């Protein structure tokens, strides 16, 4: 078994997959909570600026915007850190889920992450909060390959929110 000598950057694979899918799907838009660099969204932002919505640090508003876009037949891909998206915007995500719209919620840096960001960025409730939502599939990819495949599946195959 040959071990890698460099760290894998899951966000790079995610950003590349967004651009590939964005090239194929003109109905797809990406929403960001002021974390574009941290979440690997810059490639999409630069390639499709007209389909990139910077929402600032306002996850509830971002999720509500995504709900409106989905009701108009668009496919929103919503991005923030897991700790902020799963908990802060949970009521809005629930409302969207009850409307049976398809929205992709990407909770970056879910679970326990290295100590640098501090306890406010530790997401220990994200999976349980999403698990309690109706009409929502929860996936937790483990690496760059799974991240890309999960995104492709959510965009092209899933019939409900991921």
Q: Please tell me the distance from the alpha carbon of residue 101 to that of residue 89, in angstroms, as a whole number.
A: 16
Judge whether 59 counts as a catalytic residue. yes
Q: Please tell me the distance from the alpha carbon of residue 77 to that of residue 111, in angstroms, as a whole number.
A: 20
Per annotation, catalytic residue among 24, 45, 59, 140: 59
Q: Please tell me the distance from the alpha carbon of residue 84 to that of residue 112, in angstroms, as a whole number.
A: 13
Is residue 119 exposed (0-12), middle (13-18) or buried (19+ Cβ within 10 Å)?
exposed
Catalytic positions, please? 59
């Amino acid at each position: 078994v040959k071990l890698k000598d460099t760290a894998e950057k899951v966000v790079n694979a995610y950003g590349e997959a967004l651009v590939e899918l964005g090239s194929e799907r003109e109905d797809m838009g990406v929403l960001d909570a002021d974390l574009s660099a941290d979440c690997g969204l810059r490639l999409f932002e630069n390639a499709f600026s007209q389909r990139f919505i910077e929402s600032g640090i306002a996850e509830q508003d971002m999720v509500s915007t995504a709900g409106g876009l989905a009701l108009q037949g668009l496919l929103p891909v919503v991005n923030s850190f897991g700790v902020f998206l799963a908990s802060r915007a949970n009521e809005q995500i629930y409302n969207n889920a009850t409307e049976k719209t398809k929205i992709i919620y990407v909770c970056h840096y879910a679970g326990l992450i290295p100590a640098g960001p501090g306890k406010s960025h530790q997401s220990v409730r994200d999976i349980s909060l999403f698990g309690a939502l109706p009409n929502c599939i929860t996936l937790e990819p483990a690496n760059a390959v799974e991240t890309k495949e999960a995104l492709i599946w959510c965009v092209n195959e899933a019939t409900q929110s991921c």
